[in-house]
Amino acid sequence: MRLVESNRAVPGSRGFLAAVRVPADRQGSIEQLTALVEQIQHTTRAAQELALGRGDAQLNARLEPHSWSVAECFDHLAQTTRAFLPAISDAIATAPKLTTNRQFRTGTLAWLFIRNLEPPYRLRFKVLAPLVPRQWNFDAAWGSFMESQSELSETVRSAAGLAIDRVKIKSPVYARIHYNVYGAFRILAAHQCRHLWQIQQIFKALEGRRTLRKLE
């Protein structure tokens, strides 16, 4: 595995799950988009911190035959982001300009998705075939994840000055569902937190098994 160590500290435990918070009196579209980009970057660093120094046995192992490995989680994140981005980019291209630095609205439906995505979660979603992991090799999955994070950040930046909560996309996961672009960005951010938490649980379980073997 070839990872470059970050020169910025990443919070341990569940610290990486926290969204970047903007004080209420400073919230506006500019601050919300800035917070989204920072959260994406924060997630990328946290993912790097989790995977740094791990061997192939930990990164490619499945806890159960039908569960996902860490590599597959990263591949799924990359695929999901890339499934959303074409529709988001098309919608951004049609978004009207903002006349003030007002606050974006997430939308009720997107908010409900976010609430159920954020960890520790109880509700599980069926993963559709196009988003099922295809990469079992960590290096390939990690490279795809890093590229998709860069693409996502650039897409968020491209929305500056536009009323992206007034244009909607059709969900690439559930075709009958629509939500606005700002809500879609927040769904992607929550989805990433969900799977980083899952990765953390995989490592904990693998370390627990290793400890038990030593005691036997």
Do 139 and 2 meet the contact criterion of CB atoms below 8 Å apart? yes
Do 30 and 38 meet the contact criterion of CB atoms below 8 Å apart? no
Domain annotation covers residue 156: yes
Query: For residue 133, what pLDDT is reported?
Result: 80
Query: For residue 214, what pLDDT is reported?
Result: 52
Domain annotation covers residue 175: yes
In tens, the pLDDT along 103-155 reads 999 999 999 989 888 776 655 666 767 777 887 789 999 999 999 999 999 99
Q: Which two tokens stand for residue 63?
A: 């806890």
Query: For residue 151, what pLDDT is reported?
Result: 98
Output 213 or 207, whichever has higher pLDDT.
Answer: 207
Domain annotation covers residue 200: yes
Domain annotation covers residue 5: no
For residue 88, give the DSSP letter: H
Q: For residue 205, give its domain range.
A: 25-215
Q: Which two tokens stand for residue 121?
A: 């979660």
For residue 4, give the DSSP letter: P
What is the domain count for the chain? 1
> What CATH number does the domain containing 106 carry?
1.20.120.450
Domain annotation covers residue 162: yes
Q: Which two tokens stand for residue 48?
A: 């790097």
Dihedral of the alpha carbons of 60, 68, 82, 87, in degrees to the nearest 10: 180
Q: What letters, b where the CB count within 10 A reaches 16 and e where it falls short, cover 51-70?
A: beebeeebbbbeeeeeebbb
Do 187 and 171 meet the contact criterion of CB atoms below 8 Å apart? no
Domain annotation covers residue 17: no
